[in-house]
Amino acid sequence: MTWEEAMWTYGNDKPDIRFGMQLCNLKFPGHTFPDRKNIAELINGADFKVFDEAETVIAIAAPGCSEYTRKQTDELTEWVKRPQIGMKGLVFIKCNADGSFKSSVDKFYSEEKLKAIAEATGAKAGDLVLILAGAEERTRKATSELRLELGKRLGFRKDDEFKLLWVLDFPLFEYDEEGNRWVARHHPFTSPKPSDIDTMISNDPSIPNAAEYLKHPYAGIRANAYDMVLNGNEIGGGSIRIYQRELQEKMFAALGMDEEEQQHKFGFLLGAFEYGAPPHGGIAFGFDRLCSILGGSESIRDFIAFPKNNSGRDVMLDAPAAIDNKQFDELQIRLDLKEE
């Protein structure tokens, strides 16, 4: 699954694919409904400012939840309003078993419009559509968290079910608003996809218009990186590294390093590339995280070989431990003890 598809469909780059409830962006169809360019018309023109003024509006359909009581929908509303989630409220549409539709925004949308919105999310009779609106990043993250919470409550996230996938084609850069420059999404030695190398080499990385940074050629450059995901957890990640001097210099320049700084910090690496470095890459696995998932545990503490307690102490090795004066002498450390 590409990074872009994961973000549009599940709201995060390590999706739990054990269950559906995929995100539906009602304001910008994107990859959810590429054949329905007019999906935004379902919520526009109703004079509902919460939707009209929001940067994005995202919905999910919770299976079999149309019978939720007012107390239950209020509880979900309070859940998304918690500081950890950060939303101001929640809109719902009940797709009743008798074919009727009831919503918390009935005064703004006709039953026909509510039905069309529900159908856009893939909801069926008996389902409950939940809608969040606001700033794009926060709303996407909040909807993703709501999806995972409902998946857990409804028993869709089963401990004995394992769904693996690769997530590919991450963006190579992120935009730093404060510095009006690019920063590496992973690390500055990650290579772009082969098809994007020419874009990176041929374009100036500077951003003349901060308001339109998304239109810059560098915004679309993809990293030759990959993550392995299991049940909503990243259990491994890696990339193909840059091995050409010109490309590495272009990467450093994009991150704001001039030639002098590049030579001072990474001259050894750039020099080594002159002699011909082979293409290389790899992957690192979080083995303790993988074991904790297979063991059905929420915490990796019981699966770490030498776990530390909250004080940073290794109770198995009794470390850190005291050392004697001879060791201080060998390390040329002077110990000054002052009596109070």
> Which letter does DSSP use for residue 279 in this model?
P
Helix (H) or strand (E) run with residue 290 in it: helix 287-294
DSSP 171-182: BSEEEETTTTEE
Do 115 and 31 fall into the same domain?
Answer: yes
If asked whether residues 140 and 217 sit together in one domain, one would say no
Residues in the chain: 340
Which of residues 131, 157, 183 is at a domain's end?
A: 157
Residues 73 and 133 in one domain: yes
27 and 116 inside one domain: yes
Same domain, 30 and 147: yes
- Cβ–Cβ under 8 Å, residues 153 and 128: no
Domain count, the chain: 2
pLDDT of residue 41: 80
pLDDT for 338: 61
CB neighbourhood size of 182 (10 A)? 24
- The pLDDT value given to residue 37: 57
Whether 299 is covered by a domain: the verdict is no
Angle between helices 70-80 and 136-153 (to 10 degrees): 130
Rg, Å, the chain Cα set: 26
For residues 129 and 194, membership in a common domain is answered with no
Task: Count other C-beta atoms under 10 Å from residue 293's C-beta.
Answer: 20
Predicted TM-score (pTM) of this structure: 0.84
Decide if 48 is inside a domain.
yes
Whether 147 and 182 share a structural domain: no
Q: Are residues 209 and 134 in the same domain?
A: no
Residues 149 and 175 in one domain: no
Using DSSP's 3-state secondary structure scheme, residue 101 falls into: strand
Q: How far apart are CA 335 and CA 337, in angstroms?
A: 6
Q: Is residue 112 part of a domain?
A: yes
Domain limits for position 123: 19-157
**Could you tell me if residue 232 is inside a domain?**
no
CATH at residue 77: 3.30.1360.30
- Residue 323 belongs to some domain of the structure: no
CA pair distance 37, 44, nearest whole angstrom: 13
Which residues contact residue 3 at a Cβ distance below 8 angstroms, ignoring those fewer than 6 apart? 13, 167, 168, 169, 170, 171, 222
> Quick one: pLDDT at residue 254?
94
Domain boundary among 109, 126, 157: 157
Are residues 87 and 198 located together in one domain of the fold?
Answer: no
Do 150 and 177 lie in one domain? The reply is no
Q: Is residue 197 part of a domain?
A: yes
Residue 253 covered by a domain = yes
Is residue 251, in this structure, part of any structural domain at all? yes
Among candidate residues 144, 123, 131, 129, the one with its CA nearest the CA of residue 58? 131
Closest CA to 283 of 228, 321, 242, 331: 228
Helix (H) / strand (E) element for 95: namely: strand 91-95
Same domain for 101 and 185: no
The pair of three-digit structure tokens given for residue 225, joined into one six-digit string:
């990186």
Residue 120's nearest CA partner among 227, 32, 55 is 32
Q: % helix / strand / coil in the chain, to the nearest 5?
A: 35, 20, 45
pLDDT in tens, the chain (340 residues): 999 999 999 999 999 999 999 999 998 765 555 555 567 788 888 899 999 999 999 999 999 999 999 999 999 999 999 999 999 999 999 999 999 999 999 999 999 999 999 999 999 999 999 999 999 999 999 999 999 999 999 999 998 999 999 999 999 999 999 999 999 999 999 999 999 999 999 999 999 999 899 899 999 999 999 999 999 999 999 999 999 999 999 999 999 999 999 999 999 999 999 998 899 999 999 999 999 999 888 788 888 887 788 888 887 788 888 888 888 888 888 877 665 5
What's residue 50's pLDDT?
Answer: 94
Asked if residues 59 and 130 have their Cβ atoms less than 8 Å apart, the reply is yes
Structure tokens at 7: 């973000």
Query: End of a domain among 157, 179, 196?
Result: 157
What pLDDT score was predicted for residue 313?
A: 84
